Amino acid sequence: MHRRSFVTLGAVGLGSMLAGCGDSESAGPRTRPSGPIVLGFSQVGAEGGWRLANTKSIKKAAERNRVKLLFEDAAGDPKKQLEHIQSFIDAKVTAISFSPVVEKGYDDVLRRARDAGIPVILTDRLIDSDPSLYVSSIGAEFVAEGNLAALYLENDYDEEQGGKGSINVVELLGAIGATPTKQRSEGFAATAKRTGRIKIIASESGDWTKAGGEAAIRKVLRRTRKIDAVFAQNDDMGLGAAEVLAAEGLKPGTDIKIVTVDATRAGLEGLVAGKLNYVVECSPLIGEDLMSVVVDLFFGGEVKKRITSDKNVFNKISAAPALEAGREY
């Protein structure tokens, strides 16, 4: 795999993401509770290949670790998710975990969880709330993903243009109000400002889906065709955009470069086929990390406040062996 050190990216937006990471907190009960370990988990939805792999990882890890899993799917509805969390409190589970649909609106229910002595773990996404309301968060450094997308895209154009000229980029956003949408955009913009070459000429939400990516790029094409590149905040939207560009007589990956985030099997296959140029990895395989935290809490142990998932950057050359090795998602 093609790996890159992330230390050098601190000046362009990683500081806010890493603040507070790595600290340990004693968050579990002082004495071992009786009965089985029970985890209530509310998934944000099933909007694409990444999310399905994330759910599969959590379910498999729960089974391997003998954790009884109460699983709910919020289907992208914050109100449903709040109801799920309250139902877990009522069921007096060992721990509650959820992937937040949006950043805000969880304070009241999380205070009730805290009052009930039930620790809460965030997965994949973060919330804009009092950090004391959850004991740990597990997931990717979204700002860093945006940093890397802009860095690789600009370096690609530097090789072709010698560092001259502007790069007109269309940004395909995920769900509005979600942490990865906000922070990937912030990271991309922060790195783009270093030289000022990357110009974000349009931003449209594709809501994480292939169909959404298709609709978003069509909307932009009706306004302008002066597009050099697309930054899609996940593979599905990028692949959807690639199909529309091809139908419009433009060659994705050549006439218009495309960089995406996730590194699903479909995304890496798009790289090998030349439809995409770079894919920043955001691993959905966090089930074992989650179960480790839940078990530690059950036995009254200490857990890290922030646990980060794996990250790499793939191009056409490095994608092929990753696929041959048996991609899990």
Q: What's the pLDDT tens digit per position in 170-181?
A: 999 999 988 999
- 19: confidence class by pLDDT, cuts 50, 70, 90: very low
pLDDT higher at 207 or 48: 207
Q: Enter the DSSP assignment of 4.
A: -
First to last CA, the chain: 16
Mean pLDDT computed over every residue of the chain: 88
If you compute the radius of gyration of the chain from its CA atoms, what whole number of angstroms results? 20
**Measuring CA to CA, which residue among 127, 95, 89 is closest to residue 28?**
95
Burial 241-252 (b: 16+ CB within 10 A, else e): bbebbeeeeeeb
Q: What length is written for the chain?
A: 329
Q: What is the reported pLDDT for 14?
A: 30
Cβ atoms of 237 and 216 closer than 8 Å: yes
CATH code at 142-282+317-324: 3.40.50.2300
The answer to whether residue 24 scores a pLDDT higher than 90 is no
> 78 and 177 in contact (C-beta within 8 Å)?
no
Consecutive H or E run containing 136: strand 136-139
**How large is the average pLDDT for residues 190-200?**
94
Residue 308 confidence class, pLDDT cut points 50, 70, 90: very high
pLDDT digits (tens, 9 = 90+) for 136-172: 999 999 999 999 999 999 998 887 766 678 999 999 9
pLDDT band at 30 (very low <50, low <70, confident <90, very high): very low
Query: How far apart are alpha carbons 319 and 304 in whole angstroms?
Result: 32
Q: Do 93 and 118 meet the contact criterion of CB atoms below 8 Å apart?
A: yes
Tell which residue, 124, 157, 149, 131, has the closest CA to residue 58.
Answer: 124
Measure the CA–CA gap between 75 and 72, rounded to whole angstroms. 9
Q: Which helix (H) or strand (E) holds 173?
A: strand 167-173
CATH topology identical between 24-139+284-304 and 142-282+317-324: yes
Tokens of 144: 């860093």
Tokens of 228: 């050099």
DSSP-assigned letter for residue 7: G
Contact 264, 329 (CB under 8 A): yes
Separation of alpha carbons 201 and 300, rounded Å: 51
Taking the C-alpha atoms of residue 51 and residue 48, their distance in angstroms, rounded to an integer, is 6
What amino acid occupies position 56?
K
**Residue 298 or 7, more confident:** 298
State how far the Cα of 98 lies from the Cα of 286, in Å rounded to an integer: 12
Q: What is the mean pLDDT of residues 60-89?
A: 97
Q: What is the pLDDT of residue 159?
A: 74
The pLDDT value recorded for residue 7 is 27
Question: Per-residue pLDDT averaged across 110-120, rounded?
Answer: 97
Domain boundaries, the chain: 24-139+284-304, 142-282+317-324
Beta-bridged to residue 173, according to DSSP, are: 205
- What is the average per-residue pLDDT within 2-9? 31
pTM for this one? 0.79
Q: 48 falls in which pLDDT band (50, 70, 90)?
A: confident
Tell me the fold of 24-139+284-304. Answer: Rossmann fold (3.40.50)
Higher pLDDT, 267 or 33: 267
